[in-house]
A and B are shown apart, each in its own frame.
Chain A
């Protein structure tokens, strides 16, 4: 019996009206496992055959409807009229026979659905082999490793995976605050490169350098990290050569995995980097087999360039133009930390369009990124004021709007950004000052988060130690068992504290993020 796995097949199985009680769960689980296997195989087949034609499932299906339909009429009557029909003992049917009947019935229903879908997809344009309504019923996503530090099984799995890829495992440093024991906490003084031989045989030297730049904080900021990553990947692709018996599309992805693990160990990947990697992997696996290696590599580099140009550089220009409409003369604008997008918007508005406004730069320890913003803005001649974050209650009465940058926008509308952003949004709301967030669409994430605890990043706790009047109060914190230092990197701003998000698609409210995600998925 052909058990074609339909994308929506898992549903009707569990909901099928089955008379017996105890046997139902076992059946569904087995069926589900098998379904999953079938789905995986199907996906692999689809990906490898997508290039030449968009009809890989199509040739398969026309043969299918014939078979299940043949089964269908015979099995249904068998169930419909119990005593007659097939040769079954009147009254008690054996368990195996009942199971077989049920299975046959479910397969028939599934095959019917499959047939319907095959007809629909044949009628539709070949460019869309998968219909979007099937998206919401995908399997549960796997929990990322970096939020499972307190689970020994997950850590063992990670260690094994890294060993296989020949990437060193970075050790955690210092006692963690209990609330965050599920996250990693690394020390900047112990970079990952100390645990590996340089030059490494597995990791490309450009990637090693990039990893070091990430972990030491030399490259900071969502956009900067993503651009650096894509440039390094371009170099990787240039230096790559396909081994003799393999295909570029499959082998390159496999070669990229240890590099990505290495970068992840140096510093957890940001949402922008994650999206870029997903895009790149998809592009690689969609490469047609007919291309020669040189052509394929060039095509990949071109797509990376296009992604960089469209999603990051042009998007920044579009956002700057949109945000400019919101900046009036004699405005007092409050910004926090260092966001490349916000800096660009303000510089453009002042230099090219000549708007007259004042900027108040708010900064916080221990990163003190606001000083970079200050330098950049002052260089362009913008009138600036500088305060620490505890003084926002003092400056807010004279502020007309708040412009913030974002690290990622989550699917429930929350804004994930540098720690302190949510505080600024909260106090601004109390003073009735509008809060505008600038974010490109490539940073939109399908994750949802309601607080800043479950998924965050812990920075080096030693950064909090400061020398004042010749004495560093916290220098002995490691020996003190009751003292912990907490250096959070991100926090999550609830959507009701943000008034508007300015993206390259226009100005949207926070709650429209899942709409944008959906539109993006359909386009791709």
Chain B
């Protein structure tokens, strides 16, 4: 049908545009926006893509997902959304296939014990599958819309009056969280500016507009003022399966300082940031502007993303640039033992519980796209 072919090519154009935008870098996009755009794209693929059975659909989604995640590995939200959709498809197929929830669970336990036992082949076609999947995705989109509000609603349970709260960089989730608390309580906020991009400045200006007494300081003073801080509240880019964080550079220092002073560290992050991938899976993404190659001594570092060192040492410094290495990592790894609490749209959790939440969100077969 000519209409379908047209829609097909339009769809692939949109996917291309999305992938190019991801790869382009530039302005750091908001994770929620990325998630929503990914979901919209996946929805279109399901609606207009050419597939007949569940298995084909899953392969299609998987291929497109791999392409999108390869464009920008540090945007883990894309991969997370793909995995959510795959899980939805499995669930809907399972429901139509006549399997109940409990037997499903028993199935997986049985699968654990018997290696390579029963496996779904997803080959039975069901006409209702398309509609059901689309409906489930709509529900997921509605859930996405409400994540920030859900997190912000919990603010009053965690912030009391006359507190001094420290944060780093610019997280919109934390901004909403603090604004909600400021409606009823009076407290102070200290923002570490997070050089070289200085996102902390924007955060401080926005918070001060809500009449929250905000102080901006350099990252170097984090340990110096930590003794007067009551709580540290931060946002993050990704939550890993063991409860660790991949957050903006400087967060590890902040977490260590908080641990030294026994100050609780609270992470406000929605569930779609939870990523099952092993940090070793994320390939290195480097922008090299100088001729020396940097060796990575540690496998844990493979999640790193770097941007132009020009942010750290501008080209105006002159010919000294030819003789030195300059690093500008964007992210930091924070181990789970430094974190006290995760506040997400489904409530508060300890880092040791995150692995369990993940098994509810994603299917183990999808951990590797």
User: Would you give the shortest CB distance from A121 to chain B, in whole angstroms?
Assistant: 47
Are the C-beta atoms of A390 and B324 separated by less than 8 Å?
A: no
Are the C-beta atoms of B224 and A390 separated by less than 8 Å?
A: no
User: Would you give the shortest CB distance from A380 to chain B, in whole angstroms?
Assistant: 11
Please classify the interface of chain B as helix (H, G, I), strand (E, B), loop, or mixed, using the class held by over half of its residues. mixed
User: Would you give the shortest CB distance from A296 to chain B, in whole angstroms?
Assistant: 45
Q: Tell whether A426 pairs with B219 under 8 Å between CB atoms, given A390-B253, A393-B333, A484-B214.
A: no
Q: How large is the interface on A (under 10, 10 to 19, 20 to 34, 35 or more residues)?
A: 35 or more
Q: Tell whether A394 pairs with B202 under 8 Å between CB atoms, given A386-B312, A451-B227.
A: no
| B interface footprint on A87-111 (CB within 8 Å = 1, 0 otherwise) | 0000000000000000000000000
Are the C-beta atoms of A491 and B327 separated by less than 8 Å?
A: no
A451 to B253, CA, bound (A): 18
A170 to B54, CA, bound (A): 77
Are the C-beta atoms of B324 and A385 separated by less than 8 Å?
A: yes
User: Would you give the shortest CB distance from A78 to chain B, in whole angstroms?
Assistant: 59
Residue A147 CB within 8 A of the other chain? no
Residue B252 CB within 8 A of the other chain? yes
| Chain A residue at smallest Cβ distance from B222 | A423
Residue A415 CB within 8 A of the other chain? no
> What residues of chain A lie closer than 8 Å to B257, measured between beta carbons?
423, 426
> What residues of chain A lie closer than 8 Å to B213, measured between beta carbons?
482, 484
Q: Tell whether A419 pairs with B198 under 8 Å between CB atoms, given A398-B297, A426-B260, A464-B216.
A: no
Residue A154 CB within 8 A of the other chain? no
User: Would you give the shortest CB distance from B245 to chain A, in whole angstroms?
Assistant: 12
| Chain B residue at smallest Cβ distance from A468 | B198
Are the C-beta atoms of B208 and A491 separated by less than 8 Å?
A: no
A331 to B135, CA, bound (A): 61
Q: Tell whether A177 pairs with B215 under 8 Å between CB atoms, given A394-B304, A397-B298, A420-B221.
A: yes
Are the C-beta atoms of B219 and A389 separated by less than 8 Å?
A: yes
Are the C-beta atoms of A427 and B253 separated by less than 8 Å?
A: yes
- Which of B60-68, B189-197, B263-271, B277-285 lines the interface with chain A? B189-197
Are the C-beta atoms of A388 and B312 separated by less than 8 Å?
A: yes
User: Would you give the shortest CB distance from B169 to chain A, in whole angstroms?
Assistant: 9
| B interface footprint on A374-397 (CB within 8 Å = 1, 0 otherwise) | 110010000011111111111101
> What residues of chain B lie closer than 8 Å to A430, measured between beta carbons?
256
Are the C-beta atoms of B320 and A375 separated by less than 8 Å?
A: yes
Are the C-beta atoms of B327 and A387 separated by less than 8 Å?
A: yes
| Chain A residue at smallest Cβ distance from B250 | A390
| B interface footprint on A443-474 (CB within 8 Å = 1, 0 otherwise) | 00000000111000000000010101000011
Q: Tell whether A474 pairs with B249 under 8 Å between CB atoms, given A397-B297, A483-B205.
A: no
Q: How large is the interface on B (under 10, 10 to 19, 20 to 34, 35 or more residues)?
A: 35 or more
User: Would you give the shortest CB distance from B247 to chain A, in whole angstroms?
Assistant: 11
Chain A residues numbered 354-409 whose CB sits less than 8 Å from any CB in chain B: 364-366, 371, 374-375, 378, 384-395, 397-398
User: Would you give the shortest CB distance from B7 to chain A, in whole angstroms?
Assistant: 39
Are the C-beta atoms of A422 and B224 separated by less than 8 Å?
A: yes
Residue B217 CB within 8 A of the other chain? yes
Residue B11 CB within 8 A of the other chain? no
Please classify the interface of chain A as helix (H, G, I), strand (E, B), loop, or mixed, using the class held by over half of its residues. mixed
Are the C-beta atoms of B301 and A394 separated by less than 8 Å?
A: yes
Are the C-beta atoms of A453 and B228 separated by less than 8 Å?
A: yes
> What residues of chain A lie closer than 8 Å to B228, measured between beta carbons?
179, 453
A249 to B3, CA, bound (A): 103
| Chain B residue at smallest Cβ distance from A366 | B218
User: Would you give the shortest CB distance from B279 to chain A, in whole angstroms?
Assistant: 14
> What residues of chain A lie closer than 8 Å to B249, measured between beta carbons?
390-391, 393-394
> What residues of chain B lie closer than 8 Å to A393, measured between beta carbons?
249, 252-253, 332-333
> What residues of chain A lie closer than 8 Å to B323, measured between beta carbons?
378, 384
Residue B131 CB within 8 A of the other chain? no
Are the C-beta atoms of B317 and A388 separated by less than 8 Å?
A: no
| Chain B residue at smallest Cβ distance from A379 | B320
| Chain A residue at smallest Cβ distance from B169 | A390
Residue A485 CB within 8 A of the other chain? yes
Q: Tell whether A365 pairs with B219 under 8 Å between CB atoms, given A386-B325, A397-B298.
A: yes
Q: Tell whether A486 pairs with B220 under 8 Å between CB atoms, given A387-B312, A466-B201.
A: no
- The residues of B with any CB-CB pair to A shorter than 8 Å are 188, 190, 193-198, 201-202, 204-205, 207-209, 211-225, 227-228, 249-250, 252-253, 256-257, 260, 297-298, 301, 304, 312-313, 317, 320, 323-329, 332-333
With A387-B312, A422-B224, A426-B260 already in contact, 6 other A-B pairs whose C-beta atoms are closer than 8 Å: A364-B219, A386-B327, A387-B326, A391-B250, A486-B217, A491-B224
Listed A/B pairs (14) with beta-carbon separation below 8 Å? A365-B218, A366-B218, A389-B195, A389-B220, A390-B219, A392-B253, A393-B252, A394-B329, A423-B253, A427-B253, A474-B201, A482-B214, A487-B217, A488-B225
The 5 closest A-B pairs by CB, nearest first: A420-B220, A390-B250, A364-B220, A491-B224, A473-B201
